[in-house]
Amino acid sequence: MGTWEQLDTEVDVETDTSELDQLINFFKDDPCFAPGVEIAERFKKGIVEGSKKGAYEVADLNRSFQELAIAMHGNLGSPPKLINSIKVEKKTETNYLVGTTIAHFYPLCVEYGRREVRPIKKKALKWETPSGKVVFAKRSKASEPYPFVKPAFEQTSREVVDVIKTEIYNATK
């Protein structure tokens, strides 16, 4: 999605209706089973549509969990910018990527932390704070990791089956 693939979360829902297809094909030419075939075809359509909706809902849930994890670390330099950078990108009807759109390495430092930074060719480091203030320093101290991708993935993983089941149920009732 973004510059940092290691911060992307992929949601890919695959639906296998092959056994239902076999059942439909076995009975479809017999008029006695026409009502049952019609019900099975509607059910299959609901499974497929529910899986599509479920894939998006899981991706959006993961985005929300990432934003929540960032917001919980109130001492980050610019959490609103990072929170607002978390996006869901549609690849196919059942495949989505969740990640940050920030090209700068800041999201990596938030997720994994970083060591102390010292200037190599200059006498001082220079950077701009989120408020626009220009800062010069001889070093920038190490920063602790404040993971947002991993905890969001773990939380989403605990809820993914229920989300997909709910969407399939809603599409088939």
Strands (E), the chain: 9-12, 86-92, 95-100, 125-128, 134-137
Name residue 90's beta-bridge partners.
96
- Look up the pTM and report it: 0.85
127: enclosing H helix or E strand: strand 125-128
Per cent of the chain over pLDDT 70 is 95
Instruction: Give tens-digit pLDDT for 128-173.
Output: 876 778 999 999 999 999 999 999 999 999 999 999 999 999 998 8
Task: Look at residues 99, 76, 73 and name the one whose alpha carbon lies nearest to residue 86.
Answer: 99
CA distance 8 to 17: 29
Instruction: Give tens-digit pLDDT for 48-86.
Output: 999 999 999 999 999 999 999 998 886 565 567 889 999
DSSP 31: G
With the CA atoms of 17, 21, 22 and 28 taken in that order, what torsion angle do they form, in degrees rounded to the nearest 10? Answer: 160
